Amino acid sequence: MTFRSLAAAGALLALLLTTPESQVAAAGAPDSTAFGGASRVGAIFGASPDRPDHHFCSGAVVDSPTRNIVVTAAHCVMAPGSGRARGGLTFVPGYHEGARPFGTWSVATVVADSEWTVQGSQDSDVAFLILRPDASGRRIQDVAGAEALAFNPAGGSAAVAVGYPSRTDQPVFCSSRLQRFTSHQFEFDCPGLPGGTSGAPLLLDTAPGDRGHGTVAGVIGGYEEGGDSNDVSYATYFGPSVAAVYRAAVSWG
């Protein structure tokens, strides 16, 4: 395993190989609803010989020139401030009841802000995963498609969360609004987003009935790694620091 860091746009970034489990909360408006899944959103699995089918976090493919990047929560990659992460991660887009319609993709590298990897700041709970090509040499964006990214999104926007509770093999979605929790985090009130939905994208601009296609304005994480109750979820604000981490992921991808 290697560990590297660099300065970009005033933020120190850390390049890591790897992934842990945390919890998330949910709350407020309508309950989450199970559905058939979306190609751009997937479940994250770890290298556990005794639990090979255990997924513990969520993520989304995001548009990039390298066509191989997934966004998730940093706490899905490493413990805050530990500077270490696990290897053996895979991402399965569109996972549903054991089916892997768009394949299984190995994580080569994870890029996160050192405010998380060194300081453990809840305001920097975002990471970008660089995936290896599949056996045919294809990149994930060419197979599954990708979400757009929204930097500096406005509070009050309607959004849809899409993620994978760790205790089920069915993804869920839930609609609510992004509310400013602090200057660096959003609050998202929606019940039914339990552990496993950490890293789930909060999507803007989703069409009715299209629960997994839109613009990522955040991922579940941040305060208490996504929340300290089952009533409210949180997400790190996608400001300049997150944009710098994304650019670093593109440059390393």
**Can you give the pLDDT at residue 14?**
45
The DSSP 8-state label assigned to residue 31 in this structure reads P
Per-residue pLDDT of the chain (253 residues; tens, 9 = 90+): 233 333 333 344 444 443 333 333 333 356 777 788 899 999 999 876 556 668 899 999 999 999 999 999 999 988 787 877 778 899 999 999 999 999 999 999 999 999 888 988 888 999 999 999 999 999 999 999 999 999 998 888 899 999 988 788 889 888 888 889 888 888 888 887 766 679 999 999 876 556 578 999 999 985 565 446 667 888 998 999 999 999 999 999 7
Residue range(s) defining the domain that contains residue 191: 3-252
pTM: 0.86
Distances from the Cα of 47 to the Cα of 90, 181, 200, angstroms:
8, 35, 20
- For 168, residues 6+ apart whose C-beta sits below 8 A from its C-beta are 34
**Can you give the pLDDT at residue 19?**
33
What is the number of structural domains in the chain? 1
**Can you give the pLDDT at residue 18?**
36
Map residue 76 onto helix, strand or coil: helix
Q: Which CATH number does the domain housing residue 80 bear?
A: 2.40.10.10
| Largest separation between any pair of C-alpha atoms in the chain | 45
Cα 11 versus chain centre, distance: 20
The kind and range of the H/E element at 116 are: helix 114-117
Contact 74, 57 (CB under 8 A): no
Residue 232 structure tokens: 């409210």
